[in-house]
Structure 1
Amino acid sequence: MVNHHIKVTQALLSSLAEGGRGINGTAFPMQPVQPLKLYEFEGSPFCRRVREVMTLLNLDYEVYPCPKGGEKYRSVVKQLGGKMQFPFFVDENTGDHLYESQKIIQHLFKHYSASGQTPKAYRYYPKLPYAAFAGTLINGARGVWINKAIQQRPAPEKILELWGFEASPFTRVVRAVLTELELPFIFHNVAKERWQDLGPAKLRLKPGPYQAIKAGKRAQLIDVMARHSKDIQVPYLVDPNTDVALFESADIVRYLQKQYGTAQ
């Protein structure tokens, strides 16, 4: 547990290094009919840029982890796009297959924001993502390489589901493990929709029972989480292959390593 707390602290510092991006999002996202697909790896600063915008727009998407040394989905990217480069984004709603984080971000704002315009703050990025790269180093470069200490198992028949948001340190720890085990998952963004949502569930800025924005995305997800909690708490993992549903990042990490990886 001490080691896990260290990882969470590093993940928190990593989020702070990016200036708080990946926390807030719209309560009323423009979720497309066909699922968005992102081939990426957690420790990539360029992939992180895209995930931050996905959180801002509060979009759900499928993640196909492609860590360095991985074999399951890297070949898929080469087959679909012609080269091994990340992030790689597939939007079956528009027929687009995109490399380059900046192009993906422009696509997301064009098709899935209320204005259809890329905000100035997201229009231009430094060629080298210094802040995000620093965050990767602070986070111990977790989610960059496949975990060679774990005997990889085949991908499960049904895709896992994870609720969280980009800057959540607890969620970041879980996503790193999913990446290192090459486990695909649906990521349900549960971004902070207003200032009253800020802070952990037990330390939220607005005291008293939690009230989500009526008809907002968080309100819709409360029913999904009701089997375990009356509040919005992340990360939350659902594994339809075993009918397991878990809160608490440490419990989720233990479950994933036991269920989908065995020590060599």
Structure 2
Amino acid sequence: MSTDVSSSPPLRLQLFEFEACPFCRREREAMTELHLSVEVYPCPKGSVRHRELVNSVNERFPFLIDPNTDTSMYESGDIVKYLFNQYGNGRGPSTGLLERLDPPPQMLELFSYENNSYTRLVREALCELELPYVLHNIGEGSTRMRSLSGSDKVPFLVDPNTGVQLGDYQKILAYLFKTILHQYLHSA
């Protein structure tokens, strides 16, 4: 039995997006659920090549063009609904694609230094989840790190809402995507 749920369009969809955009990720996840092939036109900040087309229309990302129905649209929630209505064979999007994350009452705190690759992964996760946080920039090998966080490890995350303190990037990522995501997820 096939798990494919989509009606594949004859012409590929065109998605103008950039990797770091959490709204763009919703479209990629929806397209994954629907098993859709899509032409991706990367539009990182400061680029001109593909951004010019979108900027002439609305200057927002993601931007979807469906040549099969002559449809052009932005707004991630609208795009997800459109994709499932058009190509989902009556199936709706999974939980999470149309939901938003409310930030915790108190800001998370991240201790790090800029050139640490593990810290970058944590910052990208915080960005993806749209979670505001306090960034404590601590120089590599600084004794100030231990006095502020109680640890020498970076990245080091403190959640004042739960009292959780983590110094391993893998545990931090798991905490953010499991615990935080489930605690503060609400329908949009």
Equivalent AA in structure 2 for residue 38 of structure 1: L
Equivalent position SS for 1:118: coil
Equivalent AA in structure 1 for residue 25 of structure 2: R
TM-fit CA distance, 1:127: 6.4
TM-fit CA distance, 1:63: 0.3
- Residue of structure 2 equivalent to 1:91: 66
Give, in whole Å, the separation in 1 of the partners of 2:102 and 2:63.
Answer: 18
- Residue of structure 1 equivalent to 2:158: none
- Residue of structure 2 equivalent to 1:42: 19
TM-fit CA distance, 1:38: 0.1
TM-fit CA distance, 1:50: 0.7
Equivalent AA in structure 2 for residue 26 of structure 1: T
- Residue of structure 2 equivalent to 1:108: 83
Q: 2:33 aligns with which of 49, 56, 69?
A: 56
**Aligned 8 A contact 2:12 2:38 in 1:** yes
TM-fit CA distance, 1:72: 0.2
Equivalent position SS for 1:47: helix
Higher relative contact order (CA 8 A, sep 6+): 1
Equivalent AA in structure 2 for residue 126 of structure 1: R
**Aligned 8 A contact 2:12 2:39 in 1:** yes
TM-fit CA distance, 1:123: 6.4
TM-fit CA distance, 1:96: 1.0
Q: 2:10 aligns with which of 27, 33, 44?
A: 33
- Residue of structure 2 equivalent to 1:67: 44
Q: Please list, as runs of the form range in 1=range in 2, the aligned pairs for 1:46-195 lying within 5 A after superposition.
A: 46-79=23-56, 82-115=57-90, 117-119=91-93, 121-122=95-96, 124-126=98-100, 138=121, 141=124
**Aligned 8 A contact 2:17 2:61 in 1:** yes
**Aligned 8 A contact 1:45 1:129 in 2:** no
Equivalent position SS for 1:39: strand
Give, in whole Å, the separation in 1 of the partners of 2:22 and 2:95.
Answer: 17
Identify if the C-alpha distance between structure 1 residues 140 and 30 changes in structure 2 by more than 3 Å, giving closer, same or farther.
same
TM-fit CA distance, 1:118: 2.4
**Aligned 8 A contact 1:26 1:58 in 2:** no
**Aligned 8 A contact 2:80 2:98 in 1:** no
Ranges in structure 2 where 5+ consecutive residues have no aligned partner: 105-119, 128-188
TM-fit CA distance, 1:140: 5.9
Equivalent position SS for 1:90: strand
- Residue of structure 2 equivalent to 1:155: none
| Deviations, residues 97-123 of structure 1 (Å, cap 9, x unaligned) | 1101100000000011121x4246256
The structure having more radius of gyration, on CA atoms, is 2
- Residue of structure 2 equivalent to 1:5: none
| Deviations, residues 42-70 of structure 1 (Å, cap 9, x unaligned) | 11111001100100111000000000011
Give, in whole Å, the separation in 2 of the partners of 1:47 and 1:129.
Answer: 20
Give, in whole Å, the separation in 1 of the partners of 2:101 and 2:123.
Answer: 23
TM-fit CA distance, 1:129: 9.3
